[in-house]
Structure 1
Amino acid sequence: MLKRRDFLKTTGMAALSGLAVSKAVASGSFWETMPPAGVQLYTFFNVIDADVPGTLQKIADIGYKNIESAFSKKGGYYGMTPKAFAALVKDKGLSWKSHHVLGAPFQLPPGRKMPNGPDGKPIVIPPMKNLRDNMQELVDEAAEGGIPYLVCASIPLNTTDEIKSAMNTLNKTDEACKKAGIQFAYHNHYTEFKPVDGVLPYDIILKETPVALELDLAWVTKAGVNPVTLFEQNPGRYKLWHVKDIDKDLKQPQPVGTGVVNFKNIFEHAKTSGMQYYFVEHDNPADPFASITTSMQNLKKIWGSIA
């Protein structure tokens, strides 16, 4: 017969053992509780068009599973139709989750020039469709590709009139996306957090549109805004993230874990945010494959530190 003292000793040890196992499982399984790691293909803007299949294969080989597409110097979907690109992505063992489009005709900011390509010459890109002028066509193409999300990458928000026009475009696109059976989201930079006539454009987007949000963790950090605060103020609305770091001077994007973004705290609040997919991104890296490899390695370390 098991004596009371032995029972307490045995069950106590079991409880402590169970607690230790639970903590280990929680810590070790955080990676598994997250959606599969994704990549924003803008990271490869200067190289992908030379070899689209090869670029996607290398991304898959590094361990990424999801992709978010963006602009291509070939036009369209890296020179393909949505269906053809979707088939290629699937063939490489990847899943196409989202696509970036412009909200209005492309214009460089005042004083800015097109960056140089690998040949040292300014990049030349074909005319790009935008939501203001080609909204239904872009929505239909996204639906044709079978992707869950269409994302407005940027839209002019520098004046009250531009903001008013932008809200009209975003709301119309959201309605069209719902009819097409896909979701629409808005991606931020840091300028949305600069006042226009005393009001933050980002606050207007939050209040005057129902769109989902794709939070760029580097740009919101540059703006001096805590992502977790946004999650808590707007729970469930941040369906997508751009997982990108930024240097201590808040000027240059960096691979994940090599800058100042507090990823550990942010990922601890993933459930509150409503995040469904996240995409590692690095704007104009010297070596995009090395960058996303570093990001993947550091993401695993960050998640491993979360109990």
Structure 2
Amino acid sequence: MELRARTTSTTRRSFLGASLGLAAAAVSAGPARAAEEPGSRYIPRGGIGMHLYTMRTPLAADFLGTLEQLAEIGYATVGVSGRHGNSAADIRRMLDTTGLRAVLEHVAYDTLRGPGLAQALADLHTLGAKWPVVPSLPGALHTPAGFREVAREFNRIGKASRDAGLGRLLFHNHGTDHATVEGEVLYDILVRETDPELVGFELDVYWAARGGADPATYFVRHPRRFPALHVKDMAPDGSFADVGSGVLDFAAMFRDAHVGGVKQWLVEHDSPADPFATARNSYGYLAALRY
């Protein structure tokens, strides 16, 4: 999603310089390494999805037609982010018509921590989705104390989700979530202080790298905590790019994705010039990727 961290402009040199302390899995000179160093793993076709924030403009004009085109490209799943005037039941009917499957929905933190929780979980059942996802946190909470408060709330919401017959609560990160404040990495507070049975993470690999983190190391350090990813590429100037056209080395990054428990690779681009071209380019890259 397009939020506060997007306002920072980063050149390729500054991005690579900031990444010298990261493992080689974070970045490379380009996606060619995936073709030069083929591996034996590949992303299952049922695991390649589209986060619908990418498609928000065509969805607003023609929700069903947009889903039909995604299915024709080859996508199997979607992450719901904005309903564009449709009910959960409306979207489910359109998903069923196109053969797509919703795996998660982004729901505001204040909704999930308040009286809207029960309806949000009921809507996930209607959509046929598994995971409620908190898409972002208020800036005022970006302190160690604030993130510890959030961790407690996440455990409570995650238990409600599990009790409702759904999956764990997931959290979607942005660059500022990886900041070090008062000597602590904020994101790591959430990982450490939430119950792995109740809370997981939808790791946005672009924002993790932009925030100075190495996405690959999280898979190894925290097994099974990352059932879903936002697969978003970074252009040399630090802006967004179609998956496979930027500087992130996805082949290296995904080698331990199975350890992290990744089941869904959801394509995202915050500001695509042509959403359908982005969808086609990104799907083609992920479908061919070996790592």
Q: TM-score, normalised by structure 1?
A: 0.75
2:105 to 99, 106, 116: 99
Cα distance change of structure 1 residues 29 and 285 upon mapping to structure 2, 3 Å threshold: same
Contact 1:89 1:96 in 2 (8 A): yes
Q: Secondary structure at the match of 2:96?
A: helix
- Measure the CA separation in 1 of the matches of 2:39 and 2:64: 33
Q: Would you say 1:132 and 2:119 are equivalent positions?
A: no
Residue 203 of structure 1 is matched in structure 2 by 188
Q: Which residue of 1 aligns with 2:174?
A: 189
Residue 150 of structure 2 aligns with which residue?
A: 166
Distance 2:49 2:72 in 1: 13
Q: What is the letter of the counterpart of residue 132 of structure 1?
A: R
Question: CA shift at 1:141, angstroms?
Answer: 1.7
1:150 is matched with 132
Question: CA offsets per residue over residues 35-78 of structure 1, 9 Å max, x none?
Answer: 4310000001222111100110111111111111002xxxxx33
SS at match of 2:151: helix
What letter matches 2:229 in structure 1?
Answer: W
Letter in 1 for 2:231: V
Does the CA contact (< 8 Å) of 1:103 and 1:166 recur in 2? no
What's the secondary structure of 1:268's corresponding residue?
Answer: coil
Change (3 A) 1:171 1:78: same
Q: 224, 231, 240: which is aligned to 1:236?
A: 224
Structure-2 residue corresponding to 1:38: 49
State the distance in 1 between where 2:151 and 2:43 align: 37
Cα RMSD after superposing both structures: 1.9
Where 1:238 maps in the other structure, the secondary structure is: coil
Question: C-alpha displacement at 1:275, in angstroms?
Answer: 0.6
Deviation sequence 1:80-107 (CA, Å, 0-9, x none): 2222211210111111111111213xxx
**Structure 1: runs of 5 or more not aligned:** 1-26, 72-76, 105-129
TM value normalised by structure 2: 0.79
Tell me the distance in 2 between the aligned counterparts of 1:142 and 1:301.
Answer: 31
**Does structure 1 conserve the Cα–Cα contact (< 8 Å) formed by 2:228 and 2:263?**
yes
CA distance in 1, matches of 2:147, 2:225: 21
> What amino acid does structure 2 have at the position aligned with 1:83?
A
Give the secondary-structure state (helix, strand or coil) at the position aligned to 1:248.
Answer: coil
Q: How many residues align?
A: 247
Once the two structures are TM-superposed, the CA of residue 220 in structure 1 deviates from its matched residue by: 0.9
Question: For the Cα contact (< 8 Å) 2:231–2:266, is it kept in 1?
Answer: yes
Distance 1:265 1:87, change over 3 A: same
Asked whether the equivalents of residues 103 and 169 of structure 1 are also in contact (C-alpha less than 8 Å), the reply is: no
Return closer, same or farther for 1:146/1:298 CA change in 2, 3 Å cut-off: closer
Cα gap change, 1:238 to 1:220, in 2 (>3 Å)? same
Is 1:288 the counterpart of 2:272? The answer is no
SS of corresponding position for 1:185:
strand
Map Cα deviations across residues 184-230 of structure 1 (whole Å, 9 max, x no partner): 21111111111222222111101111211111111111122211111
Question: What percentage of aligned pairs have identical amino acids?
Answer: 32
Structure-1 separation of matches of 2:155 and 2:280: 37
Matches within 5 A, 1:1-307: 30-31=41-42, 33=44, 35-71=46-82, 77-104=83-110, 130-133=111-114, 134-156=116-138, 157-183=141-167, 184-210=169-195, 211-250=199-238, 252-303=239-290, 306=291
Pairwise CA distance, 1:160: 4.3
Q: Is the 8 A contact 1:244 1:255 kept in 2?
A: yes
The residue aligned with 1:117 is none
Q: Distance in 2 between matches of 1:222 and 1:299?
A: 21
Higher relative CO (CA 8 A, sep ≥ 6), structure 1 or 2?
2
Unpaired segments ≥5 residues, structure 2? 1-37
